[in-house]
């Protein structure tokens, strides 16, 4: 036996079919009284909207935007590549995608970019976020226009988005700390940390998780205050050279962000025993650094999975469907011994950060 139809809903609500259709498919221009009647009828009848049929009849095109930091950051280049690959694959499903470049770590630039979206006809946006109250107003305006918003990789202010897709960055930081502590085997040491910006929630959470574990479980180790680099490899190189100069007490380094070409270059020039080193994201240069024994550990957050989830989640939000089941995304730990034979094939191009 088939379920109730839209005609049944219209009859039960005492409105025209056209009015019921406008309410169900959120086309606007309907009085609140009629909206309430239709919604009550939907509940009483147990009507389930046929999203595919509605989209087909309307020739619906999902217009999505991804706000991604600019620069030569190899990780975000990897993210961009996968967005393009996924968009090409999904074009047959009437999905249109635009990548919007945003200056890295600039709250003002992100604020302006989100504000600009309000004047465009996007259905959903995925944003690599920062933490600032300045973002709340443009995000609220975007949501008021019916745009689905999710945080990607680094979260937005939580009350102004529908979901976050990314690893638990505190867990990632705690993992880095556990491995660093074990490597010291009870010896005294000092750990120099680096971060792109503390406005980036992923950077702040990784560092906090790292500190929590070292403080609780490895009291012989000292976590030095982070040197902020804006993920610029040249800045990171100079900072790392200074931290690792002759006579330094630094026994380990942990970079919560990017720019690792500079860090690897500095470590490769270190005389004597090099420090234990943990970085994030398996890209061409970090993979080679593991092979060359310049670093010890890479924590990768699998951006291909994150991008795929972003597409699925945005479509569900736009169609007003339940969010698809998504188990926690756990970071992958890479050492010299478990590297994939060909990391992401052509996506992992030689890059410069």
Q: What does the pLDDT look like over 332-347, one tens digit per residue?
A: 999 999 999 864 444 4
Which residues have C-beta within 8 Å of that of residue 244, sequence separation ≥ 6? 192, 250, 253, 266, 267, 270, 275
pLDDT at 194: 98
- For residue 213, being part of any structural domain is answered with yes
> Which residue from 297, 251, 291 is spatially nearest to 270, judged by alpha carbons?
251
What's the total number of domains in the chain? 3
> Which CATH number do you get for residue 40?
1.10.260.40
* Whether residues 131 and 185 fall in one domain: no
* 35 domain residue, yes or no: yes
**Same structural domain, 175 and 288:** yes
Q: pLDDT per residue over 254-273, tens digit each?
A: 999 999 999 999 999 988 88
- The pLDDT score that the predictor gives to residue 156 is 95
| Residue 276 clears pLDDT 50, i.e. is over it | yes
| Structural domain contains residue 329 | no
Residue 60's pLDDT is 61
Structure tokens at 321: 């469907």
Mean pLDDT of the region 176-187: 97
Examine the pLDDT at 112 and tell me if it is beyond 90.
yes
CA distance 236 to 197: 12
Instruction: Write down the pLDDT at residue 51.
Output: 56
Assign 245 to helix, strand or coil. Answer: coil
pLDDT at 99 over 70: yes
Q: Where are the alpha helices (DSSP H) in the chain?
A: 6-13, 17-24, 32-45, 51-58, 74-90, 107-117, 136-144, 169-184, 201-217, 233-243, 260-268, 284-291, 303-318
Indicate the pLDDT class of residue 275, thresholds 50, 70 and 90.
very high
Q: Is residue 317 part of a domain?
A: yes
Domain final residue pick, 20, 40, 57: 57
pLDDT for 56 equals: 46
Helix (H) or strand (E) holding 97: strand 95-102
Q: Is residue 330 part of a domain?
A: no
The encoded tokens of residue 223 equal 């976590």
Whole-number pLDDT of residue 344: 47
Output the pLDDT for position 53. Answer: 53
Write the CATH number for 131: 3.40.50.2300
Both 112 and 180 in one domain: the answer is no
- DSSP state for residue 232 in the 8-state scheme: -
Distances (CA, A) of 215 to 174, 201, 209, 219, 314: 11, 21, 10, 6, 39
Same domain for 101 and 158, yes or no, is yes
Same-domain status, 155 and 223: no
Nearest partner of 102 among 125, 139, 77, 70, judged by Cα: 70
pLDDT interval class at 296 (50, 70, 90): very high
pLDDT of res. 47: 79
| Terminal-to-terminal C-alpha distance of the chain | 60
Let me know if residue 85 belongs to a domain: yes
Concatenating the DSSP letter of every residue in 172-196 gives HHHHHHHHHHHHHTT--EEEEEEES
Q: What is the pLDDT of residue 323?
A: 80
Strands 221-223 and 148-152: unpaired
Are 230 and 284 within one domain? yes
Mean pLDDT of the chain: 89
pLDDT reading at 97 higher than 90: yes
Instruction: Please state, in angstroms and rounded to a whole number, the distance separating the CA atoms of residues 26 and 84.
Output: 29
* Residues 312 and 267 placed together within one structural domain of the fold: no
Answer whether 277's CB lies under 8 Å from 246's CB: no
| Host domain of residue 11 | 6-57
* 310: in domain: yes
pLDDT for the residue numbered 8: 86
Domain for residue 347, yes or no?
A: no
Do 76 and 138 sit in the same domain of this protein?
yes
Same domain, 78 and 160: yes
Q: What is the pLDDT of residues 194-251, one digit of tens each?
A: 999 999 999 999 999 999 999 999 999 999 999 999 999 999 999 999 999 977 899 9
Distance CA 42, CA 54 (A): 16
Question: Mean per-residue pLDDT for 30-35?
Answer: 88
Residues 177 and 282 in one domain: yes
Separation CA 154–CA 84 (nearest Å): 20
Averaged over 127-151, what is the pLDDT?
94
> pLDDT tens across 74-90, in order?
899 999 999 999 999 88
Together in a domain, 173 and 136 = no
Residue 54 pLDDT level (bands cut at 50, 70, 90) = low
One domain for residues 287 and 199: yes
Strand partners, 276: 252
Nearest alpha carbon to residue 130 among 157, 93, 158: 157
Contacts of 214 (CB under 8 A, 6+ apart): 177, 180, 181, 191, 221, 223
Report the distance separating Cα 277 and Cα 296, nearest Å.
5
């Amino acid at each position: 036996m088939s379920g109730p139809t839209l005609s049944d809903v219209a009859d039960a609500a005492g409105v025209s079919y056209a009015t019921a259709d406008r309410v169900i498919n959120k086309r606007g221009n309907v009085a609140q009284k009629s909206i309430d009647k239709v919604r009550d009828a939907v509940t009483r009848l147990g009507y389930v909207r046929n999203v595919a049929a509605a989209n087909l009849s309307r020739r619906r095109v999902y217009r999505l935007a991804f706000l991604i930091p600019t620069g030569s950051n190899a990780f975000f280049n990897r993210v961009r590549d996968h967005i393009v690959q996924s968009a090409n694959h999904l074009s047959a499903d009437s999905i249109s995608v635009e990548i919007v470049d945003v200056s890295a770590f600039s709250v003002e630039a992100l604020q302006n970019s989100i504000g600009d979206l309000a004047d465009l006809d996007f259905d959903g946006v995925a944003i690599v976020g920062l933490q600032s109250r300045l973002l709340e107003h443009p995000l609220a305006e975007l949501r008021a226009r019916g745009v689905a918003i999710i945080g990607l990789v680094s979260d937005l202010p939580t009350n102004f988005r529908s979901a976050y897709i990314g690893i638990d960055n505190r867990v990632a930081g705690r993992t880095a700390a556990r491995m660093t502590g074990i490597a010291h085997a009870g010896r005294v040491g000092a750990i120099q940390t680096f971060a792109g910006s503390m406005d980036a929630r992923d950077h702040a959470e990784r560092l906090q998780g790292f500190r929590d574990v070292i403080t609780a479980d490895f009291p012989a180790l000292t976590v030095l205050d982070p040197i902020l680099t804006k993920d610029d490899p040249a800045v990171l190189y100079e900072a790392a050279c200074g931290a690792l100069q002759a006579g330094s007490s630094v026994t380990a380094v942990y970079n919560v962000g990017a720019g690792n070409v500079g860090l690897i270059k500095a470590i490769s020039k270190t005389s004597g025993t090099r420090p234990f080193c943990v970085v994030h994201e398996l890209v061409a240069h970090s993979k080679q650094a593991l092979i060359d024994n310049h670093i010890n550990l890479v924590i990768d957050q699998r951006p291909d999975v994150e991008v795929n989830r972003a597409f699925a989640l945005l479509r569900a939000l736009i169609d007003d469907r339940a969010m698809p089941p998504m188990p926690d995304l756990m970071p992958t730990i890479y050492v010299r011994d478990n590297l994939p034979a060909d990391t992401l094939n052509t996506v992992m191009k030689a890059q410069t950060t």
